[in-house]
Chains A and B, each alone.
Chain A
Amino acid sequence: AQSVAQPEDQVNVAEGNPLTVKCTYSVSGNPYLFWYVQYPNRGLQFLLKYITGDNLVKGSYGFEAEFNKSQTSFHLKKPSALVSDSALYFCAVSQSGSGNTGKLIFGQGTTLQVKP
């Protein structure tokens, strides 16, 4: 069965500092990995995804994530945090070979707080 873990409920960082939001996953085959962001009282928005190829993927708003197969991780990073990055971040995984169903399983979410 697929699963995703986000070990930190909250990450605090000062504006201008680099940020990392951690994610580890478990799937039986090759993973498809995603990051989504949720602002207060809004739906989730897609940030970036890893399907295959280069382990470092770049996404919206200056975010990037690194796929590490040996550590089964897909950490979200940004070189310089902005106050406006403060939001709830979700990591998610689906499994290759699942055809059209491709069910997406989400982690618990990590609240990112960027302080001025």
Chain B
Amino acid sequence: NAGVTQTPKFQVLKTGQSMTLQCAQDMNHEYMSWYRQDPGMGLRLIHYSVGAGITDQGEVPNGYNVSRSTTEDFPLRLLSAAPSQTSVYFCASRRKALGGTGELFFGEGSRLTVL
């Protein structure tokens, strides 16, 4: 079982560069989300989606874009990277029908460094 797959696992960018973090899940989960993990701050929600064509902002959406064209994929785009976006990024999914009662399934993370 692949579960939630994130690529790349590691990336170094220069300030101002753009990139896309990829996330794919094979569990037919309607709900997908992106978190960033920073020391002492836990995980903070960036964007989430409850299905194809539907996205919404989380706690820290500035500097990030998302789209959801298929159920399986939920890419996160950094349009102009800044050092403050240095972090570990996690993609997570769950069944939409469970709403807030359902547990999230996480990818292995993508470690991004912006110089």
On whether the two chains bind one another, the answer is: yes
> B97 to nearest A CB, angstroms?
7
Verify B100–A42 contact, CB threshold 8 A. no
Verify B100–A104 contact, CB threshold 8 A. yes
Q: Report the count of interface residues on A (CB-CB < 8 A).
A: 30
Kindly specify which of A14-22, A66-74, A79-87, A106-114 makes contact with the partner chain: A106-114
Verify A95–B106 contact, CB threshold 8 A. no
Verify B102–A42 contact, CB threshold 8 A. no
Q: Report the count of interface residues on B (CB-CB < 8 A).
A: 32
With a CB–CB cut-off of 8 A, which chain B residues contact A45?
Answer: 106
Q: Which residue of B lies closest to A102 (CB)?
A: B100
Verify A43–B45 contact, CB threshold 8 A. no
Verify B101–A103 contact, CB threshold 8 A. no
The DSSP consensus for interface residues of chain A is loop
Given contacts A100-B31, A103-B48, whether A49 and B99 have CB atoms under 8 Å apart is no
Q: Which residue of A lies closest to B103 (CB)?
A: A46
> A8 to nearest B CB, angstroms?
12
Q: Is A44 an interface residue (CB 8 A)?
A: yes
> A99 to nearest B CB, angstroms?
6
Verify B109–A95 contact, CB threshold 8 A. no
Q: Which residue of A lies closest to B108 (CB)?
A: A43
Instruction: Point out the residue from A43, A49, A90, A101 that lies within 8 Å of B103, measured CB to CB.
Output: A49
With a CB–CB cut-off of 8 A, which chain B residues contact A57?
Answer: none
Verify B4–A43 contact, CB threshold 8 A. yes
Verify B100–A95 contact, CB threshold 8 A. yes
With a CB–CB cut-off of 8 A, which chain B residues contact A25?
Answer: none
Which 7 pairs between the two chains have the least Cβ-Cβ distance?
Answer: A102-B100, A94-B100, A43-B106, A46-B103, A102-B99, A106-B43, A106-B42
Q: Could you show 6 A-B contacts with beta carbons less than 8 Å apart?
A: A100-B31, A100-B97, A101-B48, A102-B102, A103-B45, A105-B59
Other than A43-B106, A105-B45, A106-B43, give 7 A-B pairs with Cβ distance below 8 A.
A44-B43, A44-B106, A90-B42, A100-B97, A101-B48, A103-B45, A106-B42
